[in-house]
Amino acid sequence: MCTISGQVVSFWNRPLYPVGCAGAVMRDKTTYDTMVRIAGSSDGIAYGFKAIADMYGWRHIVLLSDDEESTQCWNVARPFDEVLGNDDNYTVTWLRLGSNPNDQQLDNILQQIRSSARGIFVTMDSFC
């Protein structure tokens, strides 16, 4: 999912803040030119992203993750929902995508992203 997400946000020229997209293919800064490479705890990264959102005045956030609560992807996304979703300054849309989406599901997710925010935040992992 990291590679697909990285290509979509690169096409839209939007920042990608991946947490755990550590595969060798993700090192290609030409293909994944909008990926912001960061590391740290999920809670710390969520607060760091909140500071960036405040600085740029971002108020509508779309969070895309796996839909399985037992996976690393879901557990990394959860702190972002807790930090941003419980703040009246933000509208957070948490979209949860299954591990093997079909074309219709991908189209539906893309439409939801387009209708909910101008930018995109994705937390996916090569382990998902």
pLDDT in tens, 28-75: 778 878 877 666 557 777 888 899 999 988 888 888 888 887 777 777
| Interval 80-95 mean pLDDT | 87
Total count of residues recorded for the chain: 128
Q: How far is CA 90 from the centre of its chain?
A: 16
Return the higher-pLDDT residue of 123 and 94.
94
Among the residues of the chain, which ranges form H helices? 2-11, 42-56, 72-85, 103-116
- Report if residue 15 sits inside a domain: yes
Residue 127 belongs to a domain: no
Please indicate, yes or no, if residue 105 is contained in any of the structural domains.
Answer: no
pLDDT single digits (tens) 95-117: 888 778 888 888 888 888 888 76
CB-based contact 22:126 (threshold 8 Å): yes
Number of domains making up the chain: 1
In a domain, 128, yes or no: no
Asked whether residue 51 is domain-assigned, the answer is yes
The reported pLDDT for the residue numbered 114 is: 80
Using CA atoms, how far residue 60 sits from 9, 29, 85, 114, 128, in Å, is 16, 27, 10, 11, 25
Q: What is the pTM of this model?
A: 0.58
pLDDT of residue 126: 40
- Note the pLDDT of residue 64: 83
- 40 within domain boundaries: yes
- 49: its two tokens: 């992203």
For residue 22, the model assigns a pLDDT of: 55
- 36 inside domain: yes
Structural domain span for residue 33: 2-99+113-122
For residue 7, being part of any structural domain is answered with yes
Q: What is the pLDDT of residue 55?
A: 92
